[in-house]
Chain A
Amino acid sequence: MTGTGETGVFIEHLFRHQAGRVVARLTRVLGPAHVALAEESVQEAMVRALQTWPYQGVPDNSAGWIFRVAHNVAIDALRRETVFGEKTEALVAELTRSAAVTLTEPDVEERLRDDELRMIFMCCHPALARDARVALSLKTIGGFSVREIARAFLAEDSAIAQRLVRAKRQIRDQRLTLDLPSGAELAARLDSVLEVLYFMFNEGYAAGEGEDLIRQDLCLEALRLGRLVASASIATPRVHALVALMALQGARLPARVDEAGELVLLEDQDRSRWDSRLIAMGFAHFDRCIAGEEVSEYHVQAAIAATHARAVDPGTVDWPVILTLYDQLLALNSSPVVRLNRAVVVARVHGPSAALAAIAGLDTDPRLRTYHLLMSVRGQLLFDLGRTQEAADAFTAALHHTRNEAERRFLRRRIQACTT
């Protein structure tokens, strides 16, 4: 990896990914209890880059520069602090060895991936609360800042910072390790990893904060980490199913917002703007996920995304197949959100009246009572039935329950369509 010195523009997210990688490496050497020191060392290395490169130019191997300087900062910290006691010299020696590698060598690359993988598994340890797992994964492996995580989850910076401090204390107190579990414990941990990645992806995908690109970064980071897990020997078909799902859905990200920043519904999306590289990646993982016997929710959702991706234009989407898949999904997970999504497909296959019947009663479910998408779907079905006054009321109710600006503009346009 090189920083392209001439233009001063780096590989996209170079710092973010390099941060995660070097934190994982340093934590592997220092031990999980010292993940904070690893993070501070990497942060300091990046500050030094910022203080140096604008005057002296970007080094040819900018990723290697950050890697080496972070090691040196950690070595200085070890010598300055006394917490490591008699282990100090041994750790300094190991860090010195670790700093001397050439990043582009294949076996080094493989070792760094292994560090990252172990780090993901530790961050997703069931001893930590799910919120903490997500925040910790984003911070330590994803290279997200506290502010970015707070923005992505519409939380206060201080709340996220506290969550991270608590999580790191738990790592220390419960003596969590970077060892990969085996047997049944491995399966359970892998499920936790997938759950965290899936949550991360959905948070990013459920455009909660308008034009803010941070959400798209969440999706892409979840996908990157998913691929990392999928490339490991411990990967199961379920891992490939989740990666397929994220890649196929992520492929639509560029088409979900038009030039004016307005939301575009799936059926109206310009399919030429779908990311063909991600679609190919999604299908490759999809092929691998059907290798086993198991059919998980991820499998079914990946199959739904694949069916959409196979259609060359919105008119050729195989809705009956998608409805069958939704029935399967509902059997695996009878959540009201799945029922709502299924109803949208019912409208395609059996018309808006059948779909209205399919969402009957959902509005009394406490989990969906204030869910703007339910109101918005209801509005659209009523609109399609020509019941424009009721449709306008439903869209208005939806408007009251979302803070996302792009969605609000979308809903105002729908309300206007009802009255003209």
Chain B
Amino acid sequence: MAKFMLLLYDDPSHWAKLGPEDMQKAIEKYMAWSKKPFTVDSQRLGEDAGRVIRSGSGKPRATDGPYSETKEVLGGFYTIEAANYDEAVTRALDHPHLLYGGTIEVRQLFGS
């Protein structure tokens, strides 16, 4: 079965308006999804925007980013199994992240 990476982007300021009860409900929904049998792996990324190193002209330079222009940051990723892109997308569509204004990028792992 092919493997796909789901990259979850979100705007942390979205969460600021939720109360404790809403947060608990959100986490429960997220947890329920992540327990699905097709999930192979998951990892959260640091909450800062990280660094980007570009070669450009001359010496490569590390800068803050890449999200300095946008509020959305890559928060973490899941690796899931699916027969093809259609199935991978269907599975990602169920993810509660989309109920809370997030964005999910779906990429197939090459050769899987």
Query: B56 near A: Cβ within 8 Å?
Result: no
Closest to A47 in B: B15
Query: A251 near B: Cβ within 8 Å?
Result: no
Q: A51-B44, A55-B76 are in contact. Are A146 and B19 (CB under 8 A)?
A: yes
Closest to B22 in A: A145
CA gap between A145 and B22 in the complex, in Å: 9
CA gap between A54 and B28 in the complex, in Å: 9
Q: Is the CB of A10 within 8 A of B47?
A: no
Q: Is the CB of A8 within 8 A of B23?
A: no
Q: Is the CB of A14 within 8 A of B19?
A: no
Chain B nearest CB, measured from A358 CB (Å): 42
Closest to A48 in B: B47
- Residues of A near B53 (CB, < 8 A) are none
- Residues of A near B17 (CB, < 8 A) are 145, 147
- Residues of B near A145 (CB, < 8 A) are 17-22
Q: A9-B28, A47-B15 are in contact. Are A55 and B44 (CB under 8 A)?
A: yes
Q: Is the CB of A14 within 8 A of B24?
A: yes
- Residues of B near A7 (CB, < 8 A) are 31, 35
Query: B26 near A: Cβ within 8 Å?
Result: yes
* Chain B: number of interface residues, binned into ranges: 20 to 34
Q: A51-B12, A55-B42 are in contact. Are A46 and B23 (CB under 8 A)?
A: yes
CA gap between A18 and B108 in the complex, in Å: 40
Q: What 0/1 readout, one digit per residue, does chain A (43-56) give for beta carbons within 8 Å of chain B?
A: 10011111111111
Query: A16 near B: Cβ within 8 Å?
Result: yes
Closest to B24 in A: A15
Q: What 0/1 readout, one digit per residue, does chain B (29-45) give for beta carbons within 8 Å of chain A?
A: 01111110000001110
Q: Is the CB of A50 within 8 A of B26?
A: yes
Contact of A147 among B19, B33, B47 (CB under 8 A): B19
Query: A250 near B: Cβ within 8 Å?
Result: no
For A, the interface residue count at a CB cutoff of 8 angstroms equals 32
Q: Is the CB of A54 within 8 A of B21?
A: no
Q: Is the CB of A143 within 8 A of B28?
A: no
- Residues of B near A58 (CB, < 8 A) are 27, 31
- Residues of B near A9 (CB, < 8 A) are 28, 31
- 19 contacting pairs across A/B (C-beta < 8 A): A8-B28, A8-B34, A10-B28, A13-B24, A16-B24, A18-B20, A42-B20, A47-B15, A50-B23, A51-B10, A51-B75, A53-B31, A54-B27, A54-B76, A58-B27, A58-B31, A145-B17, A145-B19, A217-B21
Residues of B with Cβ closer than 8 Å to A? 10, 12, 15-24, 26-28, 30-35, 42-44, 47, 75-78
Residues of A with Cβ closer than 8 Å to B? 6-10, 13-16, 18-19, 42-43, 46-56, 58, 143-148, 217
**Complex A-B, nearest 9 residue pairs according to Cβ-Cβ distance, in ascending order:** A145-B19, A8-B31, A54-B30, A55-B44, A15-B20, A15-B24, A19-B20, A143-B20, A55-B76
